[in-house]
């Protein structure tokens, strides 16, 4: 299968290899990387379900912390490794080919300062009309991992007071809140994402603190489009000037 080399949005010097048959990086990954907030004291970051490693690449622009990406699909993992190599980030970013389920066994408890995850958005049922081995199905549906399993693994790996940052579908917000509360995460920041003004939110960005204190900040809405294209905030996240956009970003959706 042909591999395609693209610029990573508007960031000069960062490249990303993608394959048309695989799930490529999307708007949600980009927004999550922008939303995540590594601190000066952040030393170690884990990205669960890293895909071809867009989130580690984006995070390398805002932190010097060690970043580890976990990807279960071997072909996708190999492309992620190539992406780290072509950007000369091997000293900062490591990609491992493993299952998120049980990943805590590879590391010490409370080893990480920040975990990011762009998880499968959709629940899987036996009646679901999907190919369980398809690259895109695994990325989109909870075939190999569930939301609760991700939260449980994160719980074991995060230091007390450290954050899990996720992007998910707004329609599942009640379930997300219930599961985070069940496992003693305190939601610290929520930001709802809207396709455009006047439409319903379709995504939500969540920051939750492991064993953290209560104190939720509901951030201002994030609008993706205007009638004329991307909003100024989205252009800033993509690192574009206010003039125009780029065709390669027109379908950055799951």
**Distance separating alpha carbons of residues 74 and 100, to the nearest angstrom:** 13
Cα 16 to the center of its chain, rounded Å: 16
- Quick one: pLDDT at residue 242? 41
- Quick one: pLDDT at residue 126? 60
- Quick one: pLDDT at residue 141? 53
**Distance separating alpha carbons of residues 188 and 191, to the nearest angstrom:** 10
- The pTM (predicted TM-score) of the whole model is 0.87
- Quick one: pLDDT at residue 9? 75
What's the start-to-end Cα distance of the chain, in Å? 21
């Amino acid at each position: 299968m042909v591999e395609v080399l693209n610029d990573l949005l508007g960031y000069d010097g960062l490249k990303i290899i993608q394959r048309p048959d695989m799930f490529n990086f999307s708007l949600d990954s980009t927004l999550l990387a922008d939303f995540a907030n590594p601190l000066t004291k952040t030393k170690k970051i884990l990205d669960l379900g890293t895909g071809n490693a867009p989130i580690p690449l984006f995070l390398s622009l805002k932190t010097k912390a060690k970043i580890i990406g976990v990807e279960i699909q071997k072909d996708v993992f190999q492309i992620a490794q190539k992406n780290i190599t072509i950007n000369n980030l091997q000293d900062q970013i490591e990609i491992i080919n493993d299952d998120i389920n049980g990943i805590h066994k590879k590391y010490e408890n409370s080893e990480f300062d920040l975990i990011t995850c762009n998880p499968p958005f959709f629940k899987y049922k036996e009646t679901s009309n999907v190919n369980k081995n398809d690259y895109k199905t695994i990325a989109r549906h909870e075939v190999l991992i569930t939301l609760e399993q991700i939260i449980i693994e994160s719980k074991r790996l995060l230091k007390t007071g450290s954050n899990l940052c996720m992007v998910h579908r707004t329609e599942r917000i009640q379930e997300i809140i219930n599961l985070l509360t069940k496992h003693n995460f305190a939601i610290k920041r929520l930001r709802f994402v809207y396709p455009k003004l006047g439409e319903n939110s379709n995504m939500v960005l969540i920051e939750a603190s492991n064993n953290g204190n209560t104190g939720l900040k509901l951030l201002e809405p994030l609008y993706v489009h205007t009638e004329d294209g991307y909003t100024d905030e989205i252009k800033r996240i993509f690192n574009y000037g206010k003039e125009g956009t780029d065709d390669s970003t027109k379908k950055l959706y799951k």
